[in-house]
């Protein structure tokens, strides 16, 4: 093969493959620009709807990588490279990763759903998955709670979302339910007046809805009053603790007994025969 034939052959190869290379480059460059535009569009839309920044960034990056993968496969296909094997390998790898990380994927899915539907937010006091505390941080895989005794509890999102979630901060007010017992020999009306006076003198107790005081049970050793008072959510425990202490002091001062369980023991003596 002489020089002229080599030049002719090279020209034919450049003519055939050059166009494919240019087309593949065009697909990659334009496709990458389109992918970046779509990713930014997703990010802007999610931000405009006040979606959690962590979820916004994650979804935008995930969409970018997925779409860019399709662009690369399309560019390789333009060069005449068989992409079927690549797709099969990616599918097998994705299946293996999914099986290996199924627990993490479940936590991820639960985290995404909780971020979207917002059963609670940072700063709320919630109860779920066997623990209670203030939400410190919501992550894709876990949720961090600070317990009242200042412990940090990290709960997998899948476990948290699979159980009932009690959010004590959603409503601005809560009803404090308390039970106080008096002796059977004590005056019921007097005890009711004492209870009403204690709650009326506590500025944290709301008067609308009104406080409810009623005899709820004739127990074995006491007549039990149920006291229901509406308070602001942040005042709940302060009202309960103070009311319990003041009831004890006031009952003592008014001569109203607070019975406690008692047991009579009878001893029989048997004389030896």
Q: What is the CATH number of the domain that holds 224?
A: 3.30.70.100
pLDDT in tens, the chain (273 residues): 555 655 565 556 556 566 777 787 888 889 889 999 998 998 888 888 777 666 677 677 778 888 888 888 888 777 776 666 666 666 666 656 555 555 677 888 888 788 778 888 888 999 998 899 999 988 778 899 999 999 999 999 999 988 899 999 888 899 999 999 999 999 999 999 999 999 999 999 998 899 999 999 998 889 999 999 999 988 999 999 999 999 999 999 999 998 877 676 777 777 665
pLDDT score, position 59: 77
pLDDT score, position 97: 55
Tell which of 146, 167, 188 closes a domain. Answer: 167
**Number of folded domains that form the chain:** 3
The enclosing domain of 160 has a CATH number of 2.30.30.60
pLDDT score, position 20: 74
Contact, 199 vs 205, CB < 8 A?
yes
DSSP annotation of 187: -
Residues whose CB is less than 8 angstroms from the CB of residue 54 and which lie 6 or more positions away in sequence, other chains included = 115, 138, 139, 140
Whether residue 269 is contained in a domain is answered as no
State whether 82 and 147 are in the same domain. Answer: no
The enclosing domain of 15 has a CATH number of 1.10.287.1260
Whether residue 260 is contained in a domain is answered as no
Report residue 55 as tokens: 């979820």
State whether 162 and 92 are in the same domain. Answer: no
pLDDT score, position 118: 82
- Residue 251's nearest CA partner among 179, 181, 178, 176 is 181
State whether 183 and 224 are in the same domain. Answer: yes
Q: Is 231 left (phi over 0), alpha (psi -120 to 50) or beta?
A: beta
Name the residue range of residue 49's domain: 3-100
Whether residue 183 is contained in a domain is answered as yes
Taking the whole predicted model, whether its pTM rises above 0.75 is answered as no
State whether 88 and 136 are in the same domain. Answer: no
Whether residue 265 is contained in a domain is answered as no
């Amino acid at each position: 093969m002489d020089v002229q034939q080599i030049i002719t052959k090279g020209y034919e190869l450049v003519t055939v493959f050059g166009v494919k290379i240019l087309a593949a480059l065009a697909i990659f460059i334009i496709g990458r620009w389109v992918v970046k535009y779509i990713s930014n569009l997703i990010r802007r839309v999610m931000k405009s709807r006040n979606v959690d920044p962590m979820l916004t960034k994650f979804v935008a990056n995930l969409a970018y990588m997925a779409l860019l993968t399709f662009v690369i496969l399309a560019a390789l296909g333009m060069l005449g490279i068989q992409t079927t094997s690549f797709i099969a390998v990616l599918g097998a790898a994705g299946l293996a990763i999914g099986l290996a990380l199924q627990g993490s994927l479940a936590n991820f899915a639960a985290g995404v759903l909780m971020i979207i539907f917002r059963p609670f937010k940072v700063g709320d006091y919630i109860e779920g998955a066997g623990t209670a505390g203030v939400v410190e941080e919501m992550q894709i895989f876990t949720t961090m709670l600070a317990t009242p005794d200042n412990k940090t509890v990290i709960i997998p999102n899948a476990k948290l979302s699979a159980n009932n979630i009690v959010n004590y901060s959603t409503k601005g007010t809560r009803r404090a339910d308390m039970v106080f017992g008096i002796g059977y020999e004590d005056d019921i009306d007097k005890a009711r007046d004492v209870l009403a006076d204690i709650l009326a003198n506590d500025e944290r107790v709301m008067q609308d809805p009104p406080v409810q005081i009623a005899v709820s049970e004739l127990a074995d050793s006491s007549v039990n009053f149920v006291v229901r008072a509406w308070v602001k959510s942040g005042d709940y425990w302060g009202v309960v603790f103070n009311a319990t202490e003041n009831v004890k002091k006031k009952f003592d001062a008014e001569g109203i007994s607070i019975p406690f369980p008692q047991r009579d023991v009878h001893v029989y003596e048997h004389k030896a025969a």
